[in-house]
Chains A and B, each alone.
Chain A
Amino acid sequence: MTFLSKILREPLVHFVIIGAAVFGLYALMAGGNQDEPRDKIVVTEGRIEQLAQVFAKTWQRPPTREELRGLIDTYIKEEVYYREALKLGLDRDDTLIRRRMQQKMEFVTEPGDALLRADDAALQAFLDAHKADFRVEPRIAFDQIFLNPEKLGEAAIARAEQTLEILKASAPGEIPPDVGDPTLLPARMPLSPLSGIASNFGATFAANLTDLPENEWAGPIKSPYGLHLVRVTKRIDGYDPKLAEVRDAVEQKWRTEKRDEFRDQAYDQLLAKYEVILPSGKAVSPESEAAP
């Protein structure tokens, strides 16, 4: 309800509310006649059961007799106000209610589960048409030694080269413990997609990894943090996956598109019932513009 009060301060809303209140007061005074037939509010067993169910689902216990009475009274009150408000046309020209109604219609016309089930053929066709979206990125695993940039400049390059020699001389597969500077960056990066490496070490660093030899210390490579000596330990090229490998992801994307399609279709069907007239006086018929 955070912004309700903001809406309530719109001058137009004021106008509508004051107008409605005056009208309502008049209606009340004029309609206080006991002889007029009274509308019925019928509270069915089903309704009471429903009220009790919502309570039980909130509190994990059925309502007491008193609480149930309270639920029913509240329901009756809501119904009275709801009906009276409708009679006064308070639902009209109310942005909040109009948008809520639109949302309800969209809810109701959303395709059910049955419509959103795809067979393999449909998914395969979708995958073929959207290859780039599902391409598996190249993945690289590497070790890295960090050199702090506080000592950048020529000395840093010399230090990097020196360190590289030490690393090259060390046993394969190991990282000598006393080389390099402390960092929160991982010293040993498991097989990770390039985008994942980029989000930790920066995009330029990740791009530079692709050309490095395997199982050999190399560098220095620059990152936003400083210099790194890097040993690529494994590299797997990117590829276009088979459907079985990415079925869930393909299905999800297919469903998303299907839903959008359906929503647009449902709207077009509704729109087709109207002749929309723009202020210029020019009629925009649904056939010429909105129909698929």
Chain B
Amino acid sequence: MPHYVSSTFAAALMLVASTSFVAAQDSGMLTPEEAAKLYPGKPLYSRYAGRDFPTRPFFGDTHLHTSFSMDAGAFGARLGPRDAYRFARGEQVTSSSGQPVKLSRPLDFLVVADHSDNMGFFPDLLAGKPEVLADPTGKKWYDMIQSGKGEEAALEIIGAFSHNKFPDDLMYLPGTSAYKSAWQKTIDAAEEFNDPGRFTAFIGYEWTSNTGGNNLHRNVIFRDNGVKASQVVPMTVYPPNGSDNPEDLWKWMTAYEEKTGGSVLAIAHNGNLSNGLMFPVVEAFGKKLDSEYAKTRAKWERLYETTQTKGTGEAHPYLSPNDEFADFEIWDKGNLDGSVAKKKDMLQFEYARQALKNGLKLEQELGTNPYKFGLIGSSDAHTGLAAMQEDNFFGKTTPQEPGPERMKKAFFDNPETGVKVMDWEVGASGYAAVWATENTRESIWDAMQRKETYATTGPRMIVRFFGGWDFEPRDAEDRLPAHTGYSKGVPMGGDLGAAPKGKAPTFLVAALKDPIGANLDRYQIVKGWLDANGELHEKVYDVVWSGDRKPGDDGKVPPVGNTVDVANATWTNTIGAPELIKVWTDPDFNPAQPAFYYGRVLEIPKPRWTAYDAKFYGTTPLPGTTMTLQDRAYTSPIWYTPKG
């Protein structure tokens, strides 16, 4: 079954024992002590031996809809979960709009996350009921199936369909395809395409809490196989079975784990469309936040989807006026259906950076940081196609698949509230990058759980981010930086642990451009911290950059330049660097102040998907259409918590 040999690094990975990661998963946070166990730093003569740390990131999408999602189907999506997995692993398929499409390179993993509401769970429970078999025709078919003549039965059944001779009660005859619920079909597709070592097909779904048009959606991802997942049906929103309160989703997750012994995690997305509800600091659903809320949220929601087609939610220019790169693919006009316009005071509860900061403060009040999450990106495409490359972007919905007019229409337009978002504002973003040891459900899920992940807005750059107390400049000269990183520190998603006296945190950062992508402009570290007066602060540091640019008086490195020819949708890698490596020490460290640090890696400017469309179709873009961008990656943070 598994074809280990053909995965790029799999031969090396086969030697790796992955059991040690279970420990990290249980404790929840990766402290230096645990990291030391995971990545033994004891020197070996051969530094290539005994490397049980991840040597490459796996790229995937944790949030893809297919025709099984009611809205996707209504908008004409024809591709189901099977097609989605085939496409993600690199096969050419025909899109719902009839266009052949293929990824530049296969993805390593995919979660088909269709909306659980209206997915259709009933058939398999209805089937097998005595009244279903009371019909003589049904009885005959049932017996044929039972006696191994399924093929004959299936042909007869299809024949009956096409001649209007199909008894109503038999729509869900056991053994026929219709017998299976959409959920069971989703599970079956993941089971069929999961190919450990080569391609991971996760079982998952999206819980779509959307009351009042305010987006509180979460994707639920199973670590487990179909045997466990099919013991439950997904949590829904509509009453009486469902609920729109995330606390009820966490109850569902608890019940699943208790019943099956399995593991699930939830990833929220689009805080930008929640109108101030995604990251509350005072109350949620009419209830004051308490230690239980903080603990439970931190337990189930280890990651946040910080970039996708409906906007990027790392930072907002209003919240981070000193960050000249914060204004990136921003959607801040209103909530998800445009029914309520955005007010400025909602923004602080919607964006990842502000939530990471607020989390530091909440930890002081509640004992647990509810927003100690890592970062990933994903598509949220409703096409069955995880195609998020600027020059190979297949849109968010089927009507937004490539075509001459796709950048001219409105995504939504509510004249009453004045909330209008144009289709050109949809982003070709993003993917999740996961530092796992093996391409398996268990290994990738465990890495997500320990937050050793980063978000990309499309390109597959490789990003390392290690924090510790003892990195020295010459560690960046080491030919095997990752080896040093794991030996002397913790990777992204980890905790720095207690500060040794007189020392400041040090970081080993490294990034490698996408081999078919744009060069890199700079690697920045974003720091957030809480001071003694309870005030929150943030600062963006330029750590390493291409060329011989000198930081200005404000400490900022000037722009890298721009080689984009918009009319021809081209650019050149004559500026920027293919690789950036550096060791950085926090110059403003105060051991009494809780803090987090995360990496942000910027590419040089290149044409946005709108430029490729304009060139290919000869479409004249609407005034104000964004035609270039600097795609980027965001790492999960590393946290520092003072001993107290």
Contact = CB atoms under 8 A, between A and B. Distances in A.
B255 A5 contact: no
Contact of B336 (A2, A55, A111): A2
A183 B579 contact: yes
A224 interface: yes
A226 interface: yes
B175 A112 contact: yes
Interface in B114-153: 115, 117-118, 121-122, 125-126, 129-131, 145, 148-151, 153
Interface string A162-189: 0000000000000001011111111111
A24 interface: no
A149 B574 CA distance: 12
B162 A186 contact: no
Interface string A61-79: 1000001001100100000
B479 A180 contact: yes
B515 A200 contact: yes
A119 B433 CA distance: 40
B476 interface: yes
B227 interface: no
Interface stretch (B231-239, B285-293, B300-308, B355-363): B231-239
Contacts of A196: 6-8
Nearest to B478: A182
Nearest to B339: A5
Interface in B158-180: 158-159, 161-163, 171, 175-178
Interface in B214-270: 231-236, 239-242, 251-252, 255-256, 258-259
Given A60-B256, A71-B241, A223-B515, A107 B177 contact: yes
A239 interface: no
A266 B182 CA distance: 20
Given A3-B397, A58-B241, A149 B73 contact: no
A254 interface: no
B410 to A, nearest CB: 9
Contacts of B182: 107
Contact of A184 (B131, B231, B336, B462): B462
Interface string B1-18: 101011111111000000
Contacts of B118: 1
Given A1-B210, A225-B579, A199 B240 contact: no
Give the one of B130, B193, B240 with max A CB within 10 A.
Answer: B240
Nearest to A270: B162
A3 B74 contact: yes
A188 B210 contact: no
Contacts of A252: 192-193
Contacts of A224: 513, 515-516, 573, 578
Size category, B interface: 35 or more
B75 interface: yes
Interface stretch (A14-22, A82-90, A95-103, A120-128): A95-103
A113 interface: yes
A110 B337 CA distance: 35
A143 to B, nearest CB: 9
Interface string A1-16: 1111111010000000
A269 B162 contact: yes
Contacts of B414: 9
A39 interface: no
B105 interface: yes
B556 interface: no
B240 A70 contact: yes
A110 B123 CA distance: 15
Interface in B21-58: 47-48, 55-56
A173 to B, nearest CB: 10
Size category, A interface: 35 or more
Interface in A247-292: 248-249, 252, 256, 259, 262, 265-266, 269-270, 272-273
A103 B70 CA distance: 10
A7 B75 CA distance: 9
Contact of A199 (B105, B511, B577): B105
Interface stretch (A30-38, A46-54, A211-219): A46-54
B161 A108 contact: yes
Interface string A125-166: 000000000001101010000101110000000000000000
Interface string B542-574: 000000000000000000000000000000010
B74 A266 contact: no
Interface in B378-417: 382, 397, 412-414
Contacts of A105: 161
B331 to A, nearest CB: 13
Contacts of B592: none
Contacts of B232: 57-58, 60
Contacts of A265: 158
Nearest to B380: A2
A109 interface: yes
A209 to B, nearest CB: 14
A243 B70 CA distance: 40
A59 interface: yes
A136 to B, nearest CB: 8
B450 interface: no
Contact of A192 (B9, B193, B573): B9
A60 B259 contact: yes
B478 to A, nearest CB: 6
B633 interface: no
A115 interface: yes
A3 B71 contact: yes
A230 interface: no
B117 A1 contact: yes
A111 B464 contact: no
Contacts of B581: 182-184
Nearest to A114: B150
A221 interface: no
Contacts of B148: 114
B505 to A, nearest CB: 21
Nearest to A74: B240
Contacts of B251: 59
Contacts of B233: 54, 57-58
Interface string B427-444: 000000000000000000
Given A53-B125, A190-B11, A196-B7, A181 B479 contact: yes
A46 B150 contact: no
A61 B255 contact: yes
A58 B162 contact: no
Contact of A109 (B1, B131, B161, B578): B161
B365 interface: no
Contact of B145 (A99, A114, A225, A273): A114
A54 B122 contact: yes
Interface string B479-523: 111100000000000000000000000000011110110000000
Contact of B48 (A61, A108, A136, A188): A188
Contacts of A61: 255
Contacts of A188: 48
Contacts of A226: 578-579
Instruction: For the complex of A and B, list the 6 residue pairs with the smallest distance between their C-beta atoms, beginning with the closest.
Output: A114-B150, A196-B8, A190-B11, A110-B177, A269-B162, A108-B178
14 contacts: A4-B71, A44-B131, A46-B129, A50-B126, A60-B256, A96-B74, A109-B161, A113-B150, A115-B154, A148-B579, A182-B478, A183-B481, A196-B7, A199-B105
Interface of A: 1-7, 9, 44, 46, 50, 53-55, 57-61, 67, 70-71, 74, 95-96, 99-100, 103, 105, 107-115, 136-137, 139, 141, 146, 148-150, 177, 179-193, 196-202, 223-226, 248-249, 252, 256, 259, 262, 265-266, 269-270, 272-273
